Structure formats: C-alpha cells, structure tokens
Amino acid sequence: MKSFILLLNLARAKSEPEGLRELVSKLITFKYSNDVENGTRYTLTLRELLSYGCYCQFDDEINYRHRHGIPLDELDQHCQNFKRCSSCVTIDDKSCEYTTANFAYFYNQASF
C-alpha cells in the first residue's frame, strides 16, 4: 500500500495531464498482477518500475525529458504511447503546458 501511495504522490507531483491516470493505473496493475511473460513473473521494485526501460523514466527529470529508443516490452510501450500523446497535446494547443497542467484522478481499489 505504501508503494501505491508513493506512486500516486509521484503522479500528483509531476502534474501531468489526465492521461497519466490511465498510465499510472497500468503501471500499478502491471506491478501487482500475476501475469507471466516468458515464463517469469515480473518482480520489479517501485524504484525499478519508475525508471524502467526507455520510456518509463518518471524518477529522473533528465531521462524523463529525453525518453527514446525501442520499447523493451509491453510496459515500456505503454509509457512510449503516453509520451507520444503528451507531445500531441502541445501540437494541438500551444498554450497547454502538459508538464504543469492540473488534473484530477480517482482510484477504485475494487477495479484491481
């Protein structure tokens, strides 16, 4: 539970657009699920999860701004998709600064 609260606080601190709610949800689901990939269960710590792959670089400001490369797997692909969507926000509305925009989110524990 502490990891979950830390992850939500990180999301709030980053002040990302509402689309981050879905990404955070996927990261939490991924971390705490029993899904098996290649016969091995993922056992990432929260710290590893927040600095995972090429695109899930939420724990390091420099890497967060310079995410690139080929996604390592499905989790990294979700983070790449989020990056692409975030970039499109500024193309659609030059006045929108997605890194400082306020957003609201909710969490329903029953959905996990």
SS3 state at 51: strand
- Is 43 within the bounds of a domain? yes
* Percent of the residues in the chain that have a pLDDT greater than 90, as a whole number: 0
- Is 41 within the bounds of a domain? yes
112 has a pLDDT exceeding 50? no
- Is 3 within the bounds of a domain? no
Nearest one of 105, 9, 15 to 64, comparing CA atoms = 15
pTM of the predicted structure, to 2 decimals: 0.50
- Is 4 within the bounds of a domain? no
8 has a pLDDT exceeding 50? no
Q: Give the range of the structural domain holding residue 65, as residue numbers without chain letter.
A: 18-91
What phi-psi label fits residue 39: left (phi over 0), alpha (psi between -120 and 50 degrees) or beta?
left
- Is 23 within the bounds of a domain? yes
Residue-wise pLDDT for 36-73, tens only, equals 555 555 567 777 877 888 888 877 776 666 778 899 88
Amino acid identity at 89: V
66-97: b (≥16 Cβ within 10 Å) or e? ebeeebeeebbbbbbbbbeebeebeeeeeeee
CA–CA gap between residue 53 and residue 30 (Å, rounded):
14
Using the 8-state DSSP alphabet, how is residue 111 labeled? Answer: G
5 has a pLDDT exceeding 50? no
